[in-house]
Amino acid sequence: MSTRWLDRQEMTAWVRLVAVMELLPGTLDTQLRRDADLTHFDYYVLVVLSEAPDTTLRMTALADRTNATLPRLSHVVRRLEERGLVARFPCPENKRATNARLTEAGQEKLAAAAPGHVETVRSNVIDALTPEQLDQLADIAGAVLERLDPNRTMTKALDQTI
């Protein structure tokens, strides 16, 4: 089997995507840490919980929706719990499972953090694109997501958000 090397057009697209993937997380983290004392992943966990029924999910479901390993998620949720933003408790339907619930303080923190986060997303991504480019970005991201998420684990959660 011979390697299908990237041509100039493919290499340009790939290198630019890699640069965005490297720079954007730091930009989002910097703003959220400065303005809300949260990482982007902390914020994302709070968002996913805020959109769940009764603002509660099993830790395994939360891990699926955030694409986190259970050890990483447990560490983050423990930190959020220590700050009073999330509460963990045994799942009533399965005593071996643990649920996470967004607390009132977590809802307040999320509401306070959201405007700055949205402005950062807007100024660094959305406002850089025309409406046609936004449609193209959605299509491109969707096509790549289909390859990366064939079981639609994250895609299902995203579909509930949109």
pLDDT digits (tens, 9 = 90+) for 11-28: 999 999 999 999 999 999
- Contact indicator for 85, 102 with CB cutoff of 8 Å: yes
Decide if pLDDT at 160 tops 70.
Answer: no
pLDDT in tens, 25-36: 999 999 999 999
E strand intervals along the chain: 56-58, 86-90, 98-102
Are β-strands 98-102 and 86-90 bridged in parallel, bridged antiparallel, or unpaired?
Answer: antiparallel
Distance between CA 68 and CA 141 in Å, rounded? 20
- What sign has the CA pseudo-torsion 44, 97, 159, 137? positive
Between the alpha carbon of residue 21 and those of residues 26, 95, 110, 112, the distances in Å are 9, 39, 24, 26
Q: How many Cβ atoms are within 10 Å of 92's Cβ, its own excluded?
A: 8
* The pLDDT value given to residue 152: 85
Q: Where do the structural domains in the chain lie, given as residue ranges?
A: 16-128
Mean pLDDT, all residues of the chain: 94
Q: Which residues pair with 56 in a beta bridge?
A: 101
Q: What percent of the chain has pLDDT over 70?
A: 96
- How far apart CA 141 and CA 135 sit, in angstroms, is 10
- Are β-strands 86-90 and 56-58 bridged in parallel, bridged antiparallel, or unpaired? unpaired
Model pLDDT for residues 44-100, shown as the tens digit of each residue: 999 999 999 999 999 999 999 999 999 999 999 999 999 999 999 999 988 899 999
Residue 161 has pLDDT above 90, yes or no: no
Average the pLDDT over 124-153 and give the result. 94
The CATH code of domain 16-128 reads 1.10.10.10
